[in-house]
Amino acid sequence: MSARTFPPGFLWGSATAAHQVEGNCTRNHWWEWEQEGLRQRPGGYVRDGSVSGIACDYYHRFDDDHRLAAELGHQALRISIEWSRIEPERGRFDEAELDHYRRVCDSMLQRGLVPTVTLHHFTNPIWAQREGGWENPEMASWLARFAAYAVRGLGGRVKLWWTINEPMIAPALGYMFGMHPPCVRDPVRALVVARNTLLAHRAIYRAAREAATHTVEVGPVLAMIHFEPLDPGSAADQALAQSSDRFMNEFFLAGLRDGVVADEPVDALQGSYDVIGVNYYMRVLCEAGRGDVAISGARRAAEPERWVDEMGWEVFPDGLRRCLLRAGRLGKPVYVTENGMATLDDTARTEHLYAHLEKVRGAIDEGADVRGYFYWSLMDNFEWAEGYSRHFGLVAVDRQTLERRPRPTAFVYRDIIRANAI
């Protein structure tokens, strides 16, 4: 294998999530929060004044989008299924909505795309949120029941399942920094939530494995961030980088690897993964005393501005290599389940893609068993608390007409996929 070639069978695709692309996910807590925002203040809660609304109308246009993805050389898509559609009221499962997702997966398969599916991607049904959401330990059993229903229902269509997308984002952004609903700022509650997401992951893993009618692989999707002290000589910056890493990265890795939650052993947690998904976007430079910069981080003066994206995230390709090696040490196959750049500068997007794929290739060389790469995202979509003014798509979406227009990077990516090489 030449230094620029990927292993045979390496799986190439892109990723989306239900709430961000489907449109009208009216029964989840994000929708409710967006609507509450409109009632509470002019412009609402979302930074650019938007709400998810019709999103990309993927709920109705999925087949056209799959055709486009196939034309763009994709071999696979990572989507999520919307729990609040399938279980709109506690314990009431809507077979028609499950059937919708059967059609979505069938459409992918017909177009030669491998469907990989996330069971929980940020959104809770309103009923679950009203009962405390992630603070309620029952989330684990609710999600396990939902997972069993979905995995059984989709049957042999899906062989690669993801339990929870970025389980540390709810604790961090929802309960520590108050940026995502329910917008709490309380480290104690954040820790309760972190524990509950880990226990819910374990429950979903077990339920999905038991419900599967075919051979499946199931794993978590971790948001991995590369933390560094802003000033490497500062003990306080170092300590902050370490504690951030321990919470955002190591909390889950240790749970999976050692079966511990905050150092306490928990039954059946160790090894509860067949694969690991890594979402990687950024380096965060930690500056003690700056308070809640959360994931936007501080900046070093000499840093080229072009490598800060529309989110304010600092692009740092080598962090991907390091995170893949770290995830790889858990001894199971790893997928890059998300990686991308929010920008309207497509030259930067292409450079970003190459730079990161080089690092994926490097991680493979160094022994990480990386099996695939999913760009975030197939198309521009509703970027949570930031709204529609962040452009992650290989395909641009006209907000007026919802027309899809592939960006130049989409064709570069198609050629990379064809060659299985950079």
Gap between the Cα atoms of 72 and 187, Å rounded: 44
- For ligand FCB, give the closer residue by CB, 6 or 162: 162
333 Cβ contact partners less than 8 Å away, ≥ 6 residues apart: 217, 274, 275, 276, 369, 370, 371
- For ligand FCB, give the closer residue by CB, 69 or 223: 223
| DSSP H or E stretch at residue 323 | helix 318-328
In the complex, the smallest distance separating the C-beta of residue 167 from ligand FCB, rounded to whole angstroms, is 11
In the complex, the smallest distance separating the C-beta of residue 223 from ligand FCB, rounded to whole angstroms, is 6
* CA 119 to each of CA 122, 131, 163, 214, 269: distance values in angstroms, whole numbers, following the listed order: 10, 20, 5, 17, 18
- For ligand FCB, give the closer residue by CB, 164 or 241: 164
- For ligand FCB, give the closer residue by CB, 6 or 316: 316
In the complex, the smallest distance separating the C-beta of residue 370 from ligand FCB, rounded to whole angstroms, is 19
Take residue 364 and report the two structure tokens written for it: 């493979």
In sequence order, which ranges of 41-138 are alpha helices (DSSP H)?
Answer: 58-71, 83-86, 95-110, 126-130
In the complex, the smallest distance separating the C-beta of residue 278 from ligand FCB, rounded to whole angstroms, is 11
Ramachandran angles phi, psi of 51, nearest 5°? -130, 165
Take residue 22 and report the two structure tokens written for it: 């489907």
DSSP codes joined into one string, 396-411? EE-TTT--EEE-HHHH
In the complex, the smallest distance separating the C-beta of residue 311 from ligand FCB, rounded to whole angstroms, is 7
- For ligand FCB, give the closer residue by CB, 237 or 380: 380
In the complex, the smallest distance separating the C-beta of residue 160 from ligand FCB, rounded to whole angstroms, is 17
Residues of this chain that interact with ligand FCB (CB under 6 A) are: 17, 20, 165-166, 223, 279, 338, 376, 383-384, 392
Gap between the Cα atoms of 420 and 422, Å rounded: 7
111 DSSP 8-state letter: T
Residues 81 and 28 sit within 8 Å (Cβ to Cβ): no
- For ligand FCB, give the closer residue by CB, 273 or 374: 374
In the complex, the smallest distance separating the C-beta of residue 15 from ligand FCB, rounded to whole angstroms, is 8
- For ligand FCB, give the closer residue by CB, 128 or 282: 282
Chain center to CA of 43:
27
Shortest Cβ contact with ligand FCB: which residue?
17
